[in-house]
């Protein structure tokens, strides 16, 4: 098995290998480059980039193409890597990538970059084994989706639930602190059986959090309970001024998080049961988390069910 640099005489061979690679890739939702454009890209890579062919007894069984400058002067961009099925699982793919890195080392390149379709799980696993890490997300959407009139984003709703039936006393504390947290905001106070509910206009999660902390110094337990962006349910529980539990039904809905932070947004049934009187088994079964809203019950149903579980007024 040998790996060599491609020459202009290999152009037809390389184009045929690219065609074989593309037959194995997930189909894109938009037209691919015409054949003449693809051929021109390969020819340019042979001339100015890195073009490698792996051969076994004179037969081409793999190739790699990489270009300079596509992602800045310090990176080489690998556009194509392919190994024939007959030559896989013997380290040839790794050797092709090592040869790319060796060729790029002479150009003061510090990083190798590439992109992989999320459906191509085999390739993703291969590159991760080589030490590649996700540095950016490549996003796509149909053009007509952006041209259509967009509906307004769903509003966030919810409020602060204070474990007290003395709504007037709660209102006095809110009147003191709310102007400090959000100038021009107003609050509506509603008395329930066990909880007094504070709703702030305009909705502001940070303000609800701060009010929850301050009121918990006086009344023990407070629960910020919200349905946000029409997609996710959250609670934040304070006890004696200390935040003791936070739950978000889709922990990474508003952006990626370190693994530990994502885990911290799962409900703690023991704490919730102790502070709200909810049944711990029901908390465990109902307050689930997921990677996307569609993996959970409809958000309005989840919001109502969790409110009932905690004894709150949604």
> Is 211 in contact with 174 (CB distance < 8 Å)?
yes
Q: 150 lies in a domain?
A: no
194 & 115 share domain: no
Residue 34 has pLDDT above 90, yes or no: no
Q: Greater confidence, 67 or 120?
A: 67
Sorting pLDDT into bands at 50, 70 and 90, what band is 191? Answer: confident
The stretch 237-244 carries a mean pLDDT of 96
Q: 236 lies in a domain?
A: yes
* CATH number of the domain to which 108 belongs: 3.40.630.30
> Is 53 in contact with 3 (CB distance < 8 Å)?
yes
**Per this entry, what is the length of the chain?**
314
298 & 221 share domain: yes
The stretch 97-102 carries a mean pLDDT of 95
247 & 109 share domain: no
The residue out of 109, 138, 167 marking a domain boundary is: 138
Please give the pLDDT value at position 135: 86
Q: What average pLDDT does the structure give for the chain?
A: 92
- pLDDT, tens digit, for every residue of 57-92? 989 999 999 999 888 888 999 999 999 999 998 999
195 & 282 share domain: yes
7 & 68 share domain: yes
Residue 13 has pLDDT above 70, yes or no: yes
The residue out of 82, 109, 138 marking a domain boundary is: 138
Residues with Cβ within 8 Å of 192's Cβ and at least 6 positions away in sequence, in order, are 165, 313
9 & 83 share domain: yes
The stretch 206-210 carries a mean pLDDT of 96
Cα separation values, 23 from 37, 40, 120, 215, Å: 17, 19, 13, 62
Look at the chain and report how many structural domains it folds into. Answer: 2
Please give the pLDDT value at position 30: 67
According to DSSP, residue 7 is labeled -
Residue 140 has pLDDT above 90, yes or no: no
Please give the pLDDT value at position 152: 79
102 & 194 share domain: no
Please give the pLDDT value at position 113: 94
The stretch 241-252 carries a mean pLDDT of 96
Task: Note down the domain range covering 78.
Answer: 2-138
Q: Greater confidence, 314 or 194?
A: 194
Please give the pLDDT value at position 151: 75
Q: How far apart are CA 7 and CA 20, in angstroms?
A: 19
The stretch 1-23 carries a mean pLDDT of 92
**What whole-number percentage of the chain has pLDDT above 70?**
99
Q: 298 lies in a domain?
A: yes
116 & 175 share domain: no
Q: 263 lies in a domain?
A: yes
Residue 102 has pLDDT above 70, yes or no: yes
Please give the pLDDT value at position 228: 96
173 & 300 share domain: yes
Cα separation values, 45 from 15, 112, 195, Å: 12, 16, 68
Sorting pLDDT into bands at 50, 70 and 90, what band is 292? Answer: very high
Q: 145 lies in a domain?
A: no
Sorting pLDDT into bands at 50, 70 and 90, what band is 29? Answer: low
The residue out of 84, 105, 138 marking a domain boundary is: 138
Residue 146 has pLDDT above 90, yes or no: no
**What whole-number percentage of the chain has pLDDT above 90?**
73
Q: 291 lies in a domain?
A: yes
Residue 148 has pLDDT above 90, yes or no: no
């Amino acid at each position: 098995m040998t790996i060599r640099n491609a020459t202009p005489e290999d152009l037809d061979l390389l184009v045929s290998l690219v065609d074989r690679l593309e037959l194995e890739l997930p189909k894109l939702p938009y037209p691919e480059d015409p054949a003449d454009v693809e051929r021109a890209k390969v020819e340019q890579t042979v001339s100015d980039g890195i073009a490698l062919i792996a051969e076994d007894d004179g037969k081409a069984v793999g190739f790699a193409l990489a270009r300079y400058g596509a992602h800045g002067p310090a990176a080489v961009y690998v556009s194509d890597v392919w190994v024939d099925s007959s030559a896989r699982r013997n380290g040839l793919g790794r050797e092709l990538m090592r040869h790319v890195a060796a060729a790029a080392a002479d150009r003061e390149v510090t990083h190798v970059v590439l992109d992989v379709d999320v459906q191509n799980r085999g390739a993703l696993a291969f590159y991760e084994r080589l030490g590649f890490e996700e540095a950016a997300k490549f996003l796509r959407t149909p053009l007509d989706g952006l041209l259509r009139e967009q509906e307004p984003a769903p509003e966030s709703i919810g409020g602060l639930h204070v474990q007290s039936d003395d709504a007037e006393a709660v209102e006095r504390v809110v009147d003191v602190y709310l102007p400090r947290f959000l100038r021009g905001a107003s609050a509506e106070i509603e008395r329930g059986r066990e909880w007094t509910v504070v709703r702030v206009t305009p909705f502001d999660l940070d303000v609800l959090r701060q009010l929850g902390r301050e009121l918990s110094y006086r009344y023990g337990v407070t629960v910020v309970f919200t349905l946000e962006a029409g997609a996710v349910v959250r609670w934040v529980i304070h006890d004696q001024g200390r935040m003791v539990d936070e739950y978000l039904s889709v922990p990474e809905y508003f952006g990626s998080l370190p693994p530990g932070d994502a885990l911290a947004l799962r409900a703690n049934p023991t704490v919730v049961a102790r502070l709200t009187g909810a049944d711990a088994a029901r908390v465990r079964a109902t307050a689930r988390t997921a990677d996307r809203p569609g993996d959970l019950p409809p958000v309005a149903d989840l919001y109502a069910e969790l409110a009932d579980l905690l004894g709150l007024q949604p």
